Amino acid sequence: MFYDPVESTFYAWCVERLLTSSSAAPYLRDGVVELGAGSGLPIVEALRRCEVPVQVRGFERDPESFRMASRLVALKAPPGYSVEPGDFFDQGLDGPERVAIANPPYLAAPTGDTSAPELWGGESGAEVTRRLLSGPFDVLMLMMASIADPLGVIDHAACSGYLVADWCARPIPFGRHSREPVVHRRLRELHAEGRAFSSEAGYLLAGVTLLRAGRRGRLTSVGRESGPDGFAPDANTLDPNADVLRGVMAAGASVRRGP
């Protein structure tokens, strides 16, 4: 079961920031789905602190994590939070929710045969993130790691019609799982390909809010489709936030002296 005091607390803080953001408010009315509740603690804490009446349905496919999260939710009874067992992509896509959140698995390795298969993000580390970006959601708040093809992920988001509405980043030290030889070897390869950025101490994790208007948007007076807050991306829309985020995620490479 994954719970990391630094990372999970940062995720909780990013969720809290989303739940209290005025631009996300119109989308939050239909609730939020979460890929990967883990211990359940991040959302319990975020909801307790922000006191916003939002329904959050968490999905957790790792049985041990699900047991832990269900126990915690039963104990703390946070209003609006429930956790369901199973795969998010089987169960979380067809509900009324327009907002999805996740600290998705992002460890890169050739196969999921690692010490923590629930944290495996495919051969680039970004496969679960990319699946979320190809989903139906108008708003995503995703944790993006600088060691999991961040530039490819930001490009994928743009191609899926998302603009970067908000982001914040913090350093994360390499831990037991990211130091595992099979993961570390893959990170060296990704680093050489310009798809992973880190220093000797660690990497960057960003909580990124992405907003997509259009499919469920409405026509404005100038005839373009727009979301509830007037957000109206199209294929040629410039996204200065995404450009800055690209630079920040890649910055770790300049101080790297070798894996």
Ligand X SMILES: C[S@@+](CC[C@H](N)C(=O)[O-])C[C@H]1O[C@@H](n2cnc3c(N)ncnc32)[C@H](O)[C@@H]1O
Q: Are 27 and 100 in contact (CB under 8 A)?
A: no
Q: Which two tokens stand for residue 205?
A: 């994790």
Helix axes 5-19, 41-50, angle to 10 degrees: 40
Contact 54, 21 (CB under 8 A): no
89 touching ligand X, by CB under 6 A: yes
> Using CB under 6 A, which of the segments 45-53, 81-89, 197-205, 207-215 binds ligand X?
81-89
Among 8, 21, 55, 199, binds ligand X (CB under 6 A): 8
Length of the chain: 259
**Of 18, 24, 44, 65, the one binding ligand X by CB under 6 A:** 65
**Residue 139 vs 205, nearer CB to ligand X:** 205
In the bound complex, what is the minimum distance in angstroms from residue 83's beta carbon to ligand X? 10
Residue 148 makes contact with ligand X by CB under 6 A: no
β-strands 139-145, 81-85 pairing: unpaired
Q: Which of 57, 61, 98, 177 binds ligand X (CB under 6 A)?
A: 61
Q: Which position among 14, 28, 33, 38 is part of the footprint of ligand X (CB under 6 A)? A: 38
- Residue 128 found at the interface with ligand X (CB under 6 A): yes
Report the alpha-carbon distance of residue 255 to residue 82 in Å, rounded.
42
For ligand X, give the closer residue by CB, 24 or 33. 33
Q: Which two tokens stand for residue 256?
A: 């790297």
Among 62, 59, 68, 64, residue whose Cα is nearest residue 93: 59
Residue numbers at the binding site for ligand X (CB under 6 A): 2-3, 8, 11, 35-39, 42, 59-62, 65, 87-89, 103, 105, 118-119, 128
